[in-house]
Amino acid sequence: MTKITTIGRHERANPNSKNFGLGSRDIKQAAKNALHEKSNASQVGFTTVSVQSNRFSQFANYLKDEHGIKDMRDIEKEHVAQYADELQAKFDCGAIGVKTAHDYLSAVNSVLSQAIGNNTLRVTASEAGLPNRSGIATDSKAISNERHEQVKNELSPRLSAIAEMQRQLGFRFEEAAKSNPSAMLQEATQKHAITISDGTKGGQSRVLPISSQSQIDALKSASVIQGQHNSMIPSHQSYIQFSRVVYREHGKIGHQSHGERHAFAQNSYSNHMLNQTGTRDIKCPISSGHCRGEAHHQYIASKVGCTIQEAKAFDANARMLVAEELGHHRTDITNAYLG
């Protein structure tokens, strides 16, 4: 735990009272007062106080709406992690840019560290699975096959099944939790595709082609655990209640579920390149070690024995297909997954 030098916190009349004694029973005003403490200590400027206060307000709304929390003392790291996941999902579906996601998370970390005097609630952008501010991944966030198998053994059967669906089908966590594997298994058998509609961002459904036995197996395993219920969420819990339990279980073993979706995207890219070129094991930039653009196109051309122009076309088409499988209408989002 990192101790924060909080000029002003020791001057509060009762730093252990509601909202850590920040002079207001309203969490938004308390957050602004925490930022004023930093401003008085010349740690931030007046403009930063206003901007970060507005950004923190979004987190305050989330706490109230999703968890009924109105007091900073009730905030746990799981709440920050879940909010970070919301930001990741909003970036993932194009609702906000990567810089905005970083800025909103930074505001939460800034306010809470000042309020409590340490970094125990801090969640970094990297921990949240956010790409760097350029939006182009420079290091892989995909969970390796070895780590995936280890995680499955460490998690409960229900969460293990969800992790497998995320890896094989590219689900976001919420999509996997709210999915109906039994119905999807029937659809996959009949149509060789599944419709993903529950838990999607923006309410936009998508159709995912089923191309491997491992995808069928993932649905079969999940459907057994699902039982007679209509989703992977236990019948006695709401999604919010379930997700809190999940974040705690994931946190104990250091598992970031979005890494399974990254693995899906990278594996899918290689499969699409195989289908186009007949050449196996063509990897995306982040997996191949060749930088996105000219260097990676040269890598493809060398592997396939084609021109650079043809390599660019193969890459663009594979990215388009991966984007569609992930639930996107633009290929630039694949930069965060593939490099």
Instruction: Give the pLDDT confidence of 73-103 residue by residue, as tens digits.
Output: 999 998 998 899 889 888 877 788 889 999 9
CA gap 196, 210 in Å, rounded: 12
pTM above 0.85, yes or no: no
Per residue in 199-219, pLDDT tens? 787 678 899 999 999 999 999
For residues 210 and 188, the answer to whether their CB atoms sit within 8 Å is yes
pLDDT at 47 over 70: yes
Per residue in 205-264, pLDDT tens? 899 999 999 999 999 999 999 999 999 999 999 998 898 899 889 988 989 899 999 999
Could you tell me the two tokens for 305?
A: 């024995």
CA gap 332, 339 in Å, rounded: 10
Buried b (16+ CB within 10 A) or exposed e, 95-133: ebebeebbbbbebbbbbbbbbbbeeebbbebeebbbbee
At 5 the pLDDT is: 47
Per residue in 317-336, pLDDT tens? 999 999 999 988 788 889 99
At 159 the pLDDT is: 98
Lowest mean pLDDT segment, chosen from 99-108, 119-128, 286-295: 119-128
Q: Which amino acid is at 117?
A: G
Per residue in 110-167, pLDDT tens? 999 999 989 999 999 888 878 888 778 888 899 999 999 999 999 999 999 999 999 9
pLDDT at 6 over 60: no
Angle at 20 between CA 19 and CA 24, to 5 degrees: 45
Closest Cα to residue 164, out of 175, 180, 188, 148? 148
CA gap 131, 58 in Å, rounded: 21
At 3 the pLDDT is: 47
